[in-house]
Amino acid sequence: MARTLAVVLLFLAVIPLSAEAWSNGGADALGPRIRSHRRASAWRAPEIVASRRHPVSAVQVADGPRRLALVVWKRGLTDVGPARDGRMGGHASAVQVAVRRGARWGFGEPVILARRVDGPRVAMNPAGEAVIAWRDRRGRIQAVTRPPNGPLGEPRRVSGPGAGGYALAIGGDGSAVIAWEHGEFPDTSIRAAVRASGSAFGKPTEIGPVGALPVAAVNGVGEGIVTWEDTGERDQPAMASMMSPGGTFDLPQPIPNSERSNFRLSTAIADDGTAIVLVNGELMRHVVKASVLQPDGSFSPAASISGPGNSGNFGEVVVEGENFRAVWAGFSPTRVTTSRYLDHVGWSPPRVLGGRRDTLAAVESNTRGMTAVLTVRNLRMTTIRSFVRLPGEGWGPAEAVARFSNHGLTPNPALSLNAVGRALAAWGGSGKQSERGVFVAERWRLPAH
């Protein structure tokens, strides 16, 4: 009888603990769903996916369906000076990729895609179709593609020699565009190559006779936009060219009221064809301006969205569900600020995220309207932090992704957010021995309320 009573008491004591454990993020929660950002959205401990023996840079990440993920980076130093046995500065220069497949496995062994390269990029759509691109030592852009549930293909040449800075974007239907500078500055032109889902990139097309620093975006139905800075004598230097499904570009048009930019452009295009161009850091005034594509095909005059007394630069704009979200880094004081664009309404008042020491690193959003922002905070320790906004809710509190000693951290971590709300952050470290290599941290979405 005493033994039976002890078993019953033990059973009653275990049940509440099990329910609490499931309610804190289990896939099949038995208890009430947790609403707290802190308890339900912690980032998992970073996973190291690359060797600590070589310096790394240009880390990129793409998150797809069913825990599929790609991490791409450059191993070794910049390709300068004569090569000796294929090694640059004592380290092998190569672009590498690590792939994660399935729910039970971590990232696989890194694979070298090419040697003596620079500037890798990766893009993946919600179906898992991906493109990885880089620039080789002769200035030629090359790319490999990956179909959904398939292996990486063979590298294919996209451009001839002389390619400079470039941009890569992929749409929900698998259409992809690579746009790049061609020639020697300041006499560079803008060229682009387009691929349909499952095919190779087509022949390059010149879409801008004079320009530099292209950026690109593609929506879910194959429409796209490429923007760049005109390097000629034009008074309104921000330019844009719209891409129709099939890869045909319209004639370039200027963005009205876009003064000479010291920094960079950002662009996004929604599935209904609405496009926005963000103009960052005008002269010494450091304002953020936005221009919206009008029904007649022209762009509205770029207007400030950073608000009076709220400066900004290095901004990004993304599609947030059926709307747009702009995020930029403030200037004096340094702070990260955001604003939301509603169709037929306009931009919301700016809102500050984080403190005065947060600098913007990356912004991602998905089709469900979830947005994630990565910042880097430099105090006694360098901290990668995130801010997350769920559909229909406000911004959650800051979440620490990783902390490092205040030296050796690559200050530009990458971010990817998939269709169901899982986020991946990736970065390269070269400080202390324990902080070297390529790292990936994962954050799972909050349960639906």
pTM of the model: 0.85
- For residues 299 and 316, give the distance between their C-alpha atoms in angstroms, rounded to a whole number: 18
How large is the average pLDDT for residues 386-393?
A: 89
Quote helix, strand, coil % in the chain, to nearest 5. 5, 45, 45
For the residues 114-118, what does the mean pLDDT come to? Answer: 88
For 168-184, the pLDDT digits (tens) are 999 999 999 999 999 88
Rounded-to-integer distance, Cα 214 and Cα 243, Å? 14
| Element of type H or E holding 190 | strand 189-195
Q: Is the pLDDT of residue 190 over 80?
A: yes
Instruction: Assess whether pLDDT exceeds 90 at residue 298.
Output: yes
Mean pLDDT of 222-244: 89
R_g of the chain, CA atoms, integer Å: 23
| Cis preceding linkage at 32, omega within 30 | no
Percent of all residues in the chain with a pLDDT value above 70, rounded to a whole number: 78
Which pLDDT tens digit goes with each residue over 27-74? 222 222 223 333 444 799 999 998 777 778 899 999 999 889 999 999
Task: Write the burial class of residue 147 (CB in 10 Å: 0-12 exposed, 13-18 middle, 19+ buried).
Answer: middle
Pair 145, 199: CB distance under 8 Å: no
Which has more confidence, 12 or 379? 379
Read off the pLDDT band of 331 (50, 70, 90). Answer: low
Would you say 318 and 341 are in contact if contact means Cβ atoms under 8 Å apart? no
Give me the pLDDT at residue 141, please: 97
Q: Which residue has the higher pLDDT, 195 or 80?
A: 195
Q: Tell the residue number behind the tokens 């005065």, with chain if given.
A: 356
DSSP 367-389: TTS-EEEEEEEESSEEEEEEEEE
